[in-house]
Amino acid sequence: MECTQQPAGDSSDNPEATGDAPTRPCAMVIFGAAGDLTKRLVVPALYNLVVAGRLPESFRLVGCDLVAKTSAEWQSGLLAMMQECVVKGDGEFQASRIDPVHWDWLASRMTYLQGDLNDPGCYARLDEHLCGLDKTAGTGGNRLFYLAVSDRFFGPIVDHLGAAGLTHESAGQWRHVIIEKPFGHDLASAMALNARVGAVLDERQIYRIDHFLGKETVQNIMVLRLANGLFEPIWNRNHIDHVQITAAETVGVERRGRFYEKTGALRDMIPNHVFQLLAMTAMEPPISFDADEIRNKKSDLLRSIRPLRYDEAMPEAVRGQYAAGSVLGRPACDYRSEPDVAADSNVETYVACRIQIDNWRWAGVPFYLRTGKYLAARKTEIAIRFRSAPLSVFAGISPAAGNANWLVLRIQPNEGMSIEFAAKRPGPTVHLGAVRMDFSYKDYFHAASGTGYETLIYDCMNGNATLFKRADNVEAGWRVVQPLLDAWAGTAPQGFPNYAAGSEGPAAADALLARDGNAWRTLT
């Protein structure tokens, strides 16, 4: 269907503009509008954007799903979930209350279309509805399609969007597609999916989302390194002993047993979330803040990681599965007792690995990565351990004796950073103690908490792909873990379950660092 383009407002002169002003007029379509991701993260993020004044008056939100419901029922269900998050206060969406004025602004712009995402007729109806919004609401023919669905629908939805002409850009209009993870389940499937969506969309139209990259601390890594002469000169193998990246959760698999049985902790977290944190930390400085320049450096870094290989005598990675225990004072069942999980499952809920980067900046510096379910604390952080002083001038005091220098970047919760260093304890004799200088975004900038999706959705509407993964970034990550996936597929783990829910993880993870004379930072 040919659509009439409406005149855009003053803020739309540059489709690639960035900043805090409202985005260009657009219609956003969420496929999977009745699902948990939409309820828990995407719509709460849109609400936060409304509160911040970053959505245009001509914004419209269209939900599309197989579940039969009215627009009013969709709106009320979303509001109920957000209010539940406010009461519980333990999710990604943090707010003291739902402001009725801001919610009504968003709800008044929401419509719901019931349809089978495998039915071409669904897309024809969607096209008609969106063209109507162009005429009545002034959305300008600009469209953002958000694939908040199971990964098996990614390819078919993009195919149908292309066949219906919904991805075609003309007369200054933009059409962007956000694709959630998992982007493939291994290297072969990721390459196949890239080829499939690339046959319909230009790479600049594809936004592979990783919500970790929307966190303020992650975005600030480059600022920390490149805007401060204090850090960049020492950001290398000469001054850094090792790096620990942790993504620990205090939840189990919850209602995702069927998904987790096919995925496991390695696929779920390492080649996407954790590798993106690794890339931001270790990549070379880009020549500019241009999106492709930054993603070029990420790809260079990911390609320089030595692939993980399984060696029973000297493992580069270990896996774990949680047993029953107690998490945050509440009893927790073992993984094999979770709904939709096999009673003899060998799927890992924890993984730790030792990464080696073969380039001049990082040669010989180990990067330790760990992620897991039902651990002692919810914590995502990047901890950089600097080398000890080469010589102690204090009699009887070793340079490394309890005086470790750490720079810790906290991704969640309580986004911020701290520096740990040695200081003299008060008294007539020299006794050293570790002290910490701490910075919290919330306290210093009085910034409102977000889900991590706000910045990413806003950037996508502005055509800024800096924080999104490019096809080669995705494939480079899978190449690192593919040998390990192949090896683990052919070997049964020993002793599962091997860590108690609420603990710091399996003993084998501690042994992985002990080989180098190192130890994990405690989670609590």
Supply the residues annotated as catalytic: 273
State the Cα–Cα distance between residues 155 and 492, nearest whole angstrom. 32
DSSP of 322-362: EESEEETTEEE--GGGSTT--TT----SEEEEEE-B-STTT
Amino acid letter, residue 370 = R
Q: What share of the chain is helix, strand, coil (3-state, %, to 5)?
A: 35, 20, 45
Backbone CA torsion sign across 342, 346, 352, 353: negative
State the Cα–Cα distance between residues 486 and 510, nearest whole angstrom. 24
State the Cα–Cα distance between residues 356 and 363, nearest whole angstrom. 7
State the Cα–Cα distance between residues 468 and 459, nearest whole angstrom. 9
State the Cα–Cα distance between residues 236 and 12, nearest whole angstrom. 42
Helices (H), 387-470: 441-445, 453-461
**Residue 204, number of CB atoms within 10 A of its CB:** 15
Asked whether the beta carbons of 153 and 161 are under 8 A apart, the reply is no
Residues contacting 434, CB < 8 A, separation 6+: 402, 403, 404, 420, 421, 422, 423
Tokens 């059409």 locate to: 175
State the Cα–Cα distance between residues 14 and 24, nearest whole angstrom. 9
Q: Is the peptide bond before 44 cis (omega within 30 degrees of 0)?
A: no
Apex 66 CA angle, 60 and 71, nearest 5: 40
3-state secondary structure of 20: coil
State the Cα–Cα distance between residues 349 and 319, nearest whole angstrom. 8
Asked whether the beta carbons of 109 and 75 are under 8 A apart, the reply is no
Distances from the Cα of 138 to the Cαs of 58, 123, 242, in angstroms? 6, 21, 53
Tokens 């690339």 locate to: 198
**Residue 148, number of CB atoms within 10 A of its CB:** 24
